[in-house]
Structure 1
Amino acid sequence: MCMLAYTTYSESGGVGKTTLTANLADAHSQQGRDVLVLDLDPQQGSLSYLLDIPTSRDDDVADNIARHLIDEPKGEFSELIQETPYGFDVVPSHGMLENLPQLLMKAQNLAEDLGEEFSPNDRLRQVLIDADIRREYDTIIIDPPASPGPHLYNAVSATRSLLLPVKPTGKGMQSIAGIEDILTNLEANLDLDLGVLAIVPNGIGSTSDQEQYLEEIQQLGYDAPVTIRDRSALFEGSWDQRCTAFYYFGHHRSHKRDYEAETLDKLRDLAAHIEEVGDQ
């Protein structure tokens, strides 16, 4: 089984980036993959919150992902990894990530003073190599914040592949049209080649305008293997219960809705598509 690694990214908020990350991790796990998700988003409503992962996000003394990125760990990287009831593991977010740009700059300055190399945008890749993560996992998904900066750059440098959720609205289409610019800028900043595994139109309604947006996405030459209809009740319910949509449907839905089951099947299909493309 080939190593699969990707970053779920959108430059706009409200497109379901974190929800999609959590549920794809669940879907990959259902298909027999060993999955690790890294939460690099310092916001309170991050993937760690959605999955109800116990964190020490406000404890500056505790070891956390930010400490490892600045080469000041307090333990082994493996000790940061937490199991979930869904079959995949998570490295949770931490409040120290809010100050990651400044922390990385200080670490870089110190390294330069000591005559050592320190690449602030490539730290996560090095941390994962040093921790021999590929020995334990065949799938890595990273959920960074939407804004450009070292969180995103480290995620992209570590995975080299992107999954792009979008909403088929006017603003969403502007994001789609700007994907080439996004890729060009990231590749220039990081001096590497990136791939787009798929674009995922999310929160689709039934209006003719939205159907037209879907056609335009395809005309732009990007792969959109599935479209996720507006399933607010399903996904908002999973946030309320702090679990994946698969778990919410199986354990909290007394009345099983066929269209929600179809949405979960689409997420499985998307995971399978990403695995196929990623293995090429």
Structure 2
Amino acid sequence: MHVISLISGKGGVGKTTLTTNLAIALGQRGKRVLVIDLDPQNAVRLHLAMDPGDDAGLVREGIFPEVIFHSPFGVDFIPFGRVTEEELLEFESALEARPQWVATAIQGLRVAAYDYILLDTPPGATVYLPQALKAAERALIVVLADAASYTSLSKLFKLLAEYGVQDTYPPTSTTTHILLNQMQENSELGQQVRTALMNTYGAKMAPMVIHRDAMVPEALAYERSVLQYEPDAPASRDIQHLADWLRTTA
């Protein structure tokens, strides 16, 4: 069982969309995949066709085989859940008191025999970041080819180093990679940022980018994965490449 955290230093990088489509790509390759939503925005459910009126999620039900939802896209998921502000504060306080809660809960899922578990997290330094890192064997840092993403990386790597000192997670180039998402090839600024990332982080860069593709939001509007809506779209090919790379480097 491989556990991968998808993290970011800033919001709006398309991380949840990437997480769910990556899960579907791995599922298309015959892998049993579970997505766990650790983001209070509770958006994974929207990508995996959960009944919008269902409030269930890990905040109230925890992480157990009995609370796993089965999507029509061939992957399973546990939503964050729709909760009140008071419930959210209580939950986050409990996570601070139990830093291994997610890791321990995932160990209890071994009976479900998943090949991959993907953890979707909120951006920045939240209580969910150390929980995800302690549970995962590798992390993908999702960034855009813009100045804000570039500057956020140094702060994020400092956090990874801090958590690495406190626990067994090693933030090294073999376990942590930076993935450029929504890349526009005809953007001069984007190419400059990409070059700067390569020069600064070198081997930490994933060997592919996910291109900006109008088919991605269009597919979501039709409640589909871009991999199914338009398998030959540039983003679909990129995500398939990412899935194959993760499999061969596991």
Q: 1:67 aligns with which of 54, 60, 70?
A: 60
Matched, 1:122 2:95: no
- TM (norm. structure 1) is 0.77
Q: 1:150 aligns with which of 122, 127, 130?
A: 127
Q: 2:50 aligns with which of 24, 45, 53?
A: 53
98-107 or 4-13, larger mean C-alpha shift: 98-107
Contact persistence 1:55–1:93 (CA under 8 A): no
- How many residue pairs are counted as aligned between the two chains? 244
Matches within 5 A, 1:159-174: 159-174=136-151
Secondary structure in 1 aligned to 2:178? strand
Matched, 1:102 2:90: yes
Q: Deviations over 1:161-197 (max 9, x none)?
A: 2111111111111123444213113324555324544
Any unmatched runs of 5+ in structure 1?
70-75, 109-118, 251-257
Any unmatched runs of 5+ in structure 2?
none
State the superposition RMSD in angstroms: 2.6
Aligned-partner Cα distance in 1 for 2:170–2:88: 24
Q: 1:12 aligns with which of 10, 13, 29?
A: 10
Structure 1 vs Structure 2: percent identity of aligned residues? 25
| Amino acid across the alignment from 1:24 | L
Mark the CA change 1:166 to 1:105 in structure 2 (over 3 Å): closer, same or farther: closer
Mark the CA change 1:89 to 1:173 in structure 2 (over 3 Å): closer, same or farther: same
48-57 or 3-12, larger mean C-alpha shift: 48-57
Mark the CA change 1:131 to 1:270 in structure 2 (over 3 Å): closer, same or farther: closer
Deviation at 1:243, TM superposition (A): 2.6
Secondary structure in 1 aligned to 2:207? coil
Deviation at 1:33, TM superposition (A): 1.1
Contact persistence 1:56–1:94 (CA under 8 A): no
Aligned-partner Cα distance in 1 for 2:49–2:10: 24
Matched, 1:274 2:246: yes
Mark the CA change 1:177 to 1:66 in structure 2 (over 3 Å): closer, same or farther: same
Contact persistence 2:141–2:177 (CA under 8 A): yes
| Amino acid across the alignment from 1:52 | A
| Amino acid across the alignment from 1:144 | T
Secondary structure in 1 aligned to 2:230? helix
| Amino acid across the alignment from 2:236 | L
Secondary structure in 2 aligned to 1:265? helix
Contact persistence 1:28–1:271 (CA under 8 A): yes
1:229 paired residue number? 211
Aligned-partner Cα distance in 1 for 2:48–2:132: 20
Secondary structure in 2 aligned to 1:95? coil
| Amino acid across the alignment from 1:78 | P
Matched, 1:30 2:17: no
Matched, 1:203 2:196: no
Q: Deviations over 1:57-97 (max 9, x none)?
A: 54xxx6x412355xxxxxx8212111112211111221238
| Amino acid across the alignment from 1:225 | P
| Amino acid across the alignment from 2:215 | L
Secondary structure in 2 aligned to 1:226? strand
1:212 paired residue number? 192
Aligned-partner Cα distance in 1 for 2:151–2:13: 13
Aligned-partner Cα distance in 2 for 1:236–1:107: 33
Contact persistence 1:18–1:47 (CA under 8 A): yes
1:240 paired residue number? 221
Contact persistence 2:145–2:194 (CA under 8 A): yes
Contact persistence 2:95–2:101 (CA under 8 A): no
